[in-house]
Amino acid sequence: METKPILFIGSSRDDLREFPAEVRKALGDELLRVQNGLMPVDFKPLKDVGKGAYEIRVHLNGAWRVIYVAKFANVIYVLHAFEKKTRKTSQNDLELARRRYKLIGE
């Protein structure tokens, strides 16, 4: 099986690059799993963002998230990368992911 490329939408790549090195490594490992057709170790579906949207969850000196879509045959889209500061994902983070989801189409 061929590894799917990742396309970062909006500022998601730059946002991810701002994370601490160990967090970037952990999220990179999780995205590599997705590229190879596997599910991340810790994730949840985000149906309110859009069909096929998932959140990768990493807990290393805080809570870190990447929202992605891998439902297309030839590409994985990373919609948003952020540090989660509260127990519930903020509406701003979800709304940004929804707006970026609309950019990739169904």
pTM of the full structure? 0.94
What is 6-104's CATH superfamily? Answer: RelE-like (3.30.2310.20)
Enumerate the domain spans of the chain.
6-104
**Which pLDDT score is estimated for 106?**
67
Answer yes or no: are the C-beta atoms of 81 and 17 closer than 8 Å: no
- Taking only the tens place, the pLDDT of each residue in 23-77 is 999 999 999 999 999 999 999 999 999 999 999 999 999 999 999 999 988 999 9
Q: Give strand pairing partners of 83.
A: 64
Q: Give strand pairing partners of 8.
A: 78
Q: CA-CA distance, 93 to 97, in Å (whole number)?
A: 6
